[in-house]
Amino acid sequence: MGITKQIRAGIRSKPLLPAMTLLMLAAMHSPATQAGATFKIDDTKWVSVGAGLRTSFTAAEDSAGTPGNSQWSNDFALDNIRLYLNAQIHEYIKLEFNTDCQTCGNGGEMRILDAIGKFEYNPYINLWIGRMLVPAERREMNGPFYSPIYNVFASGTPFEPADFNLTIKSDGTSAGSFGRDDGATFWGAAFGGRLQYAAGFFRGLRGGANVDDNILYAQRVAYNFWDVEKNPGYYTSGTYYGKGGDILTVGVTNQYQEDGAGTSDDPGTFRGTTADILLEKVLPNNGVITFNGEYKNYGIGNGYSQASRDAGGGFTMFEGNAYDVSGMYLIPDKVWIGQFQPYFRYTSVMPSTSSDRDAYEGGVNYVIDAHNARVSLSWTYGDLLTKGLDYSSTASGDSINAIKLGFQLQI
């Protein structure tokens, strides 16, 4: 009896202010993919293994170049290389262990991405414990492998606390790593799977401003108005290429941590609220239109002054509003071994403490085997590529162009 196991894992590389570094952001999680091989032990025990790869070439305009004579940087990047290991040790107990090259840009080190003990009893309530994705908006839950756009993080909206730093630290500069943190999440669904929820409790910011070891609370609720999305756990996908039926899902997320931002001398309470929507419709000609949208409102209360932010100390989370919208069309006719999927995207970030920034992106995906084999070519333009995560009052940067060619493979 064959067993199919869906896996998700994730990564994102921490963006820096220069355009080239920002565009090389790898993202964070890898949702539902079928394992490469499943080994059955008995009727209730099995082990599955799989792997995923994302690699790209980027050419970015130099914002400091002479007008009319701009220089372009050129670079290859290993964005992700992942190993997936899943197992079932009891009818109701499972184990997930994933690794990723979380410092690929500096030579590469394989590190723990996910380490989850799963107690899954029924559709209504389940418990995951260990290191896992913090419930967040759809983009975070999609991860790089199940987002419809290769650059989904590189030119996207600001990050949640758990996705702000490259590594897990206890010095007041990290609240997790690549969207993951250590904690527990209750998740489930009701009304035939239409109402989906996840509620988690995590370490959040450790050290620094959080001298009292306050917990980070994270919740996500989504409702499926049309066909019900089918993903493992509380993960999501940014497109199903028409194979999931007609999708219209709206989700709302909130994260909160007392003293979850700032410095030990100037702490602030973090609150991040998001709303997202996925609409996917299969047309009579078997073409597929897909729309993704998200809105973020982040605030830091009870402290954390602009002076501390400008000084660059502590945990400099985003304050303000941001939104990201994209639309794409999967052309039904196959060309050689795949289908073309042109798309357009716009991102706007409006910090309350700094200057606004945005990015326009257009591109085309060549979809060979859904999320398992895809080639992407994109063009991006905007000052979001140079201002990045600098939310100080002196942030500045020119609008530049960048081109990326990305390859994604999974098994």
Give the pLDDT of residue 69.
Answer: 61
For domain 6-410, give the CATH number.
2.40.160.10
Give the pLDDT of residue 65.
Answer: 57
- pLDDT (tens place) for every residue of the chain, 411 residues total: 333 333 444 333 333 334 333 333 333 334 333 457 999 999 999 999 999 999 999 999 987 655 556 789 999 999 999 999 999 999 999 999 999 997 787 877 889 999 999 999 999 999 999 999 999 999 999 999 999 999 999 899 999 999 998 888 999 999 999 999 999 999 999 999 999 999 999 999 999 999 999 999 999 999 999 999 999 999 999 999 999 999 999 999 999 999 999 999 999 999 999 999 999 999 999 999 999 999 999 999 988 888 888 887 789 999 999 999 999 999 999 999 999 999 999 999 999 999 999 999 999 999 999 999 999 999 999 999 999 999 999 999 999 999 999 999 999
Q: Where are the domains positioned within the chain?
A: 6-410
By CB atoms closer than 10 A (0-12, 13-18, 19+), residue 318 is buried
